[in-house]
Amino acid sequence: MSRIVTLGQAAAEVADGAFVTFGGFQLNRAPMALVSEMIRQKRRGLRVVTLPNPLPLDLLVGAGAVAEAEFGFLGFQYDGGFVVAPATRRAIERGTIRWRERDVYEIVQGLRAAAFGLPFLPAPGGEESDYRKVNRTPAARDPGGGEETLLARAIRPDVALLHAQEADREGNLLVSDLFAEDLLARASARVVATAERLVEAIERPTIPGTLVEKIAVVPGGAFPTSCHRFYPFSADHVRAYVRAASEDRVAEYLGRFVTGVAGHAEFLRASGGPGAWESPARPSGPGPESVADPAAADRLVVGMARSIADGEVVATGVASALPMLAVALARATRAPRLTYINCVGAVDPEVASASASSVDVSLLDLCRARITLPEMFDLARRGRIDVMFFGASQVDREGRMNLTCIGDYGRPKVKLPGPAGSSSMRPFIPKVVIIVPRHTPRSLVERVDFATAVGSPRNRETLVLTDLALLRLEAGRLRLVSRHAGASLADLRSRTGFALEGAEAPETPEPTAEEIGALRRLDPAGIRHRMI
């Protein structure tokens, strides 16, 4: 029997109530044609586990197809700003969906356990996070060193839905921008895929045909997300979806682009297809003249760049457009020999200019080497990453971070994007830099509502950089290191939700002419000004 089938036949391989996972990463190469066809076929009761890939999950949740979801990150950053998947967020806040959130590394280890045929694998790093408590995560004591280590139970999806650049009739798949699809394929009972094109033979498949059950050849099958070497993601179409979903009009969007069209080819015609939504001009920021404090973004990016020493290995995660710009600034000024690892999988990519996204697959085309997402976690545990930047919605006086929720975890008032890899990676990073773009009592609090990630004795230094100040974690408490120009001590105290230590802190040195010049060359459009 041929593995090559129609899109409808491929989607029909996923039964109601199936346990499903998706390939792709953020707004890159998600199996959108398969997801949309499943919605047309009125699939119900799905259980979903996903790595940082929120758009296919959100579409299925908005269509009422998902009964239960497990994930590590619900946010994505693009030209329209930073977004928490709106339909999923609303379902969680309303209590209309069963859900479980945990660190992405724990999900990776669960998938690895399934791939190896094991009941569980160690998943160290999040021992002090509140996820351990709410998820009742099992742990075991290392018989050699005596340390307690969390365990990730095997995760074995019924089916992995993938989109590939190429396929052949033997079922082999070629993926040119590998994130974790090989792991998903080995962990899952079956693989159902779409591909941009069918070729005679793939000599070195990324995923062998022995693992692949059905393939549909669907050009544009990842749209509106990107497909490396074929088309970029459509910021305009994503923006249209986000607007509809944020206003609780998912049904209207589905009626126009999913259930109201006969198939993916008609969807591409209705939406204009790859490239049709893109503006000819590169999106720009508002410009320094139109923001309240034009120096705030400059100080924030320069502060991040100054935290990097020459020769250090620096990593950035999802939604890290400003840290990526800071790495490029550091390379251009103070740290020309740094090594940069971007979570899209690029090692030392060429970052010639600022971008609204830190997970652009074009970074893979001009880089020194590539790694997969699971390998990035492995590097941290082996001590191969010196510096990493983390964002947080709340940071408390003891340096705990909250990226999970405002209010009670069981029924949050506001669902935040989730940990990504912060719970497990932060404890293994020697120099932790936490970014808080707005220094307010709502962001710097006495105690976080949920401890997503906490410090560790392995951290040699933990810095918190805001638009007004630099703080350092010393003896278990955040202490003021310096005040940015124009920020008085009284002003800082009024904007901090805990007693601020360090009254003698000096003023932060202003960005130098060299730093400002390099920053303007890297970001002539001023994209940084609309990111804080």
pLDDT digits (tens, 9 = 90+) for 409-442: 999 999 999 999 999 999 999 999 999 999 999 9
Amino acid 360 reads: D
- Tell me the mean pLDDT in the region 265-287: 63
How far from the centroid of its chain's Cα atoms is residue 147's Cα?
Answer: 30
Asked if 477 and 501 count as a contact pair (C-beta separation under 8 A), the reply is: yes
Residue-level pLDDT at 173: 98
- Tens digit of each residue's pLDDT (9 = 90 or more) over 98-144: 999 999 999 999 999 999 999 999 999 999 999 999 999 999 998 88
Instruction: Compute φ and ψ for 209, nearest 5 degrees.
Output: -60, -20
397's tokens: 């006086």
Query: What class does CATH assign to 4-103+156-271?
Result: alpha beta
Give 334's contacts (C-beta < 8 A, 6+ positions apart): 305, 306, 308, 309, 310
CA distance 395 to 401: 5
Asked if 110 and 152 count as a contact pair (C-beta separation under 8 A), the reply is: yes
Amino acid 269 reads: R
- Tens digit of each residue's pLDDT (9 = 90 or more) over 145-193: 778 999 999 999 999 999 999 999 999 999 999 999 999 999 999 999 9
| HSE-up of residue 89 (Cα within 13 Å, Cβ side) | 24
Q: Is the pLDDT of residue 89 over 50?
A: yes
Higher pLDDT, 293 or 134: 134
Question: Are both 4-103+156-271 and 288-530 of the same fold?
Answer: yes
DSSP H or E stretch at residue 131: helix 131-135
Asked if 126 and 106 count as a contact pair (C-beta separation under 8 A), the reply is: yes
Q: Which residue has the tokens 């379902």?
A: 91
Q: How many other CB atoms are there within 10 angstroms of residue 521's CB atom? A: 13
Q: Is the pLDDT of residue 519 over 50?
A: yes
Topology, domain 288-530: Glutaconate Coenzyme A-transferase (3.40.1080)
Band of residue 2 on the pLDDT scale cut at 50, 70, 90: confident
CA distance 228 to 233: 9
> Where do the domains of the chain lie?
4-103+156-271, 119-153, 288-530
Amino acid 230 reads: F
Q: Which residues pair with 482 in a beta bridge?
A: 470
Residue 48 vs residues 161, 190, 332: alpha-carbon distances, Å: 11, 15, 43
Radius of gyration of the chain, Cα coordinates, nearest whole angstrom = 23
- Tens digit of each residue's pLDDT (9 = 90 or more) over 7-34: 999 999 999 999 999 999 999 999 999 9
- Tens digit of each residue's pLDDT (9 = 90 or more) over 203-218: 999 999 999 999 999 9
Helices within 333-439 (DSSP H only): 373-381, 422-425
Higher pLDDT, 523 or 286: 523
What proportion of the chain, given as a percentage, has pLDDT over 70? 96
Chain-wide mean pLDDT for the chain? 94
DSSP letter assigned to residue 5: E
Band of residue 292 on the pLDDT scale cut at 50, 70, 90: low
Q: Which residues pair with 139 in a beta bridge?
A: 150
In 17-143, the DSSP E strands lie at 19-22, 46-50, 66-71, 75-78, 81-84, 98-101, 120-122, 139-141
CA distance 78 to 356: 5
3-state secondary structure at position 166 = strand
Amino acid 448 reads: V
Residue-level pLDDT at 275: 52
Give the pTM: 0.94
- The arrangement of strands across the sheet holding 148-153 comes to 120-122, 148-153, 139-141
3-state secondary structure at position 240 = helix
Residue-level pLDDT at 407: 97
Checking phi first, is residue 159 left (phi over 0); if not, alpha (psi -120 to 50) or beta? beta
Band of residue 339 on the pLDDT scale cut at 50, 70, 90: very high
DSSP H or E stretch at residue 197: strand 190-198
Residue-level pLDDT at 284: 45
Is the previous residue joined to 224 through a cis bond, with omega within 30 degrees of 0? yes
Q: How many other CB atoms are there within 10 angstroms of residue 282's CB atom? A: 12
Among the listed residues 513, 202, 515, 174, the one whose alpha carbon sits nearest the alpha carbon of residue 329:
515
Most distant pair of Cα atoms in the chain: their distance = 76
Band of residue 282 on the pLDDT scale cut at 50, 70, 90: very low
388's tokens: 């990493």
Residue-level pLDDT at 495: 96
Instruction: Report the b/e string of 241-258 with b at 16+ CB within 10 A.
Output: bbebbeeeebeebbeebb
Q: Is the pLDDT of residue 289 over 70?
A: no
- Name the burial class of residue 259, with classes exposed (0-12), middle (13-18) and buried (19+) by CB atoms within 10 angstroms of its CB: middle
Asked if 341 and 313 count as a contact pair (C-beta separation under 8 A), the reply is: yes
Q: Is the pLDDT of residue 354 over 50?
A: yes
Q: Which of 121-130, 266-275, 310-319, 485-494 has the lowest mean pLDDT?
A: 266-275
Amino acid 144 reads: G
- Tell me the mean pLDDT in the region 368-383: 96
